[in-house]
Amino acid sequence: MDGLFFCFCRSICFNQRHVWLLYYLGDNAIGGLNGASYWEYFFFSVQTLATIGYGNKFPQTLYADVLVTIEAMVGLLGLGVFAAIAFARLSIPRSRIIFSNTAVIADFEGVPTLMIRVANERKNTIIGAEIALSLFMRETSPEGLSIRRIYDLALIRSRHPMLSLTWLIFHPIVKGSPLFGQTEESLLNSDIALVATINGLDETISQTVHANYAYRCTDIRWGHRFKDMFTEDPFTGQSSIDLHRIDDIYPV
């Protein structure tokens, strides 16, 4: 957004530096000037472009009228385009969904399970949040061709009705999973990537928001679990979530 505003301001300054010269070339084209200095023509050009019209400076020849007409039309068109681009840029919904910076593998209900954690940073609710985990793995075909396959990982729960706190995502590593049979050493030496994508309806702006995060093989920690993010106030006994602990893990 800052770059867009800078470009717009630069184009305005470029316009002002050159249009005043055209007014200057006209023979006594502008009336009401206190002199024939650069600043007199420059500020008249500014008044024309911004449609301010204080009245102390005015075109008094056909040549000046044509320049004023062109500059006013270009100025209005430029401001309209800038406003449209700025509105489109600012109106894009942005999610504040955060992901744990590591994925962990540990037993869950007696089954080795891949887990990641997500949380909503905003104090609102994402309705109907849906998440998908995809595994990118390089393999060699029977013909000897090296390709990167994409596997969609089956999740215990892939949809959350109202995401307002945290969400722990589980992928059981059972027979049929592309991670089945992998070990900690084989994961570290493999060329894999885990991509998590999540989307849902933000209740505040009533628009769909989405977020994604990618884990490398070195981001997957074997034999670890996530620490609890809930903390309890010793004085009031109320529980709260500490989002700074979303990445905290411990070995099992």
Q: Which of 220, 153, 157 is CA-nearest to residue 188?
A: 220
Assigned token pair, 131: 């998440």
pLDDT, position 238: 78
Cβ(185)–Cβ(112) below 8 Å: no
pLDDT, position 12: 47
212 and 125 part of one domain: yes
Q: How many distinct structural domains can be found in the chain?
A: 2
236 and 198 part of one domain: yes
Rounded Cα–Cα distance for residues 134 and 152 (Å)? 5
pLDDT, position 8: 45
**Domain stops at, among 56, 90, 124:** 90
104 and 208 part of one domain: yes
What CATH number is given to the structural domain containing 45? 1.10.287.70
223 and 146 part of one domain: yes
What CATH number is given to the structural domain containing 234? 2.60.40.1400
- Give me the residues of the chain with pLDDT under 50, please: 1-2, 4-14, 16-17
231 and 124 part of one domain: yes
CA of residue 122 relative to chain centroid, distance: 15
**Domain stops at, among 44, 61, 90:** 90
